[in-house]
Amino acid sequence: MPEVTKDIDRRWIEPELLDILPPDDPRAIGSRRDLIWINALMFQRAIMSGLLKANVRKRPARILELGAGDGAFMLSVARRFARSWTDVDLVMLDQVNLISDKRRADFAALGWRVETVTGDVFDWIARPRARAYDVVSANLFLHHFSDAELKVLFAALRWLAPVFIATEPSRNAIALKMCSLLRVIGVNEVTMHDAAASVRAGFAGNELSSLWPSDSGQQCEERRIGPFTHAFRVISKEAFPRCTMPLS
């Protein structure tokens, strides 16, 4: 593992403990709880909601979330759209099924129907499917994968929806430094490890755009938002008239 001060010019991908531990391990349960705080500190909910609002003008009928975890993050986003987006089908994909009945009920109260897909994202995208969603979103998910894997993922995602939005860790020195201070808010060892690993595996510059198929005819934009977040947005031509320039 690189030292904290080591070069962050290039991505460094290493296994995250949360992906290795059994879902019912108390350390994993604690770390998923910590994720709520991490998302709050990174302003991920506000950033994701802002990007969705700017890029998806019409109520989406079908949303796919990749790496949905326990659904807490998407529920917090859905609550921001409580008045305008009802009657939504939300498909939550994750390698672990952590969506509780209570979570489903919370979504149902907003008029969102939840379907879960449990499995590896690469197995799932290998099955051909047409443009089946209005939006695909991902929060703290893409950084798990190597550039080669992301190329494979993006080659499939291009066909899935007219809008793709991802909010990922920004790979920068300040963010890495802040990870070492997370202990102050009482996160556990798993979170301490995974937070720093996520920053090292995070993104900078136009790294994600360069992995999106160049012949897609879609418009990619990405940039750092605040100290911790790297946002990536792809829209298809038919979505352009409905969009503002969300990242500027």
Ligand X SMILES: C[S@@+](CC[C@H](N)C(=O)[O-])C[C@H]1O[C@@H](n2cnc3c(N)ncnc32)[C@H](O)[C@@H]1O
Site for ligand X in 32-61 (CB under 6 A): 35, 39
Minimum CB–partner distance for residue 242 and ligand X (Å):
25
Where would I find the beta strands (DSSP E) of 84-228? 88-94, 112-118, 135-139, 163-169, 219-225
170 binds ligand X, rule: CB under 6 A:
no
Closest CB to ligand X among residues 40, 245: 40
Which amino acid type is present at position 175?
A: A
Quick one: which of 49, 76, 95, 97 contacts ligand X (CB under 6 A)?
A: 95
The count of residues interacting with ligand X (CB under 6 A) is 17
| Closest by CA position to 111, among listed 89, 91, 96, 127 | 89
Residues 8-37 that bind ligand X (CB under 6 A): 19, 35
Spatial strand order of the sheet with 229-235 comes to 112-118, 88-94, 62-66, 135-139, 163-169, 229-235, 219-225
* CA gap 34, 191 in Å, rounded: 7
- CB atoms near residue 143 (< 10 Å): 25
Number of Cβ atoms within 10 Å of the Cβ of 77: 22
Q: How far is the CB of 43 from ligand X (least distance, A)?
A: 13
For 244, counting Cβ atoms within 10 Å of its Cβ (0-12 exposed, 13-18 middle, 19+ buried), the class is exposed
| Residues between 104 and 133 that touch ligand X (CB under 6 A) | 120-121
Tokens standing for residue 34: 């910590």
- Considering beta carbons, is residue 60 or 69 the nearer one to ligand X? 69
CA–CA distance, 70 with 99 (Å, rounded to integer): 5
Q: According to CB under 6 A, which residues from 64 to 83 bind ligand X? A: 67-69, 72-73
Interacting span for ligand X (CB under 6 A) from 76-84, 91-99, 127-135, 201-209: 91-99
Nearer to ligand X, 8 or 153 (CB): 153
**Of 96, 110, 152, 156, which one interacts with ligand X (CB under 6 A)?**
96
| Least distance to ligand X, CB of residue 245, Å | 25
> Which residues are at the interface with ligand X (CB under 6 A)?
19, 35, 39, 67-69, 72-73, 94-96, 120-121, 139-141, 144
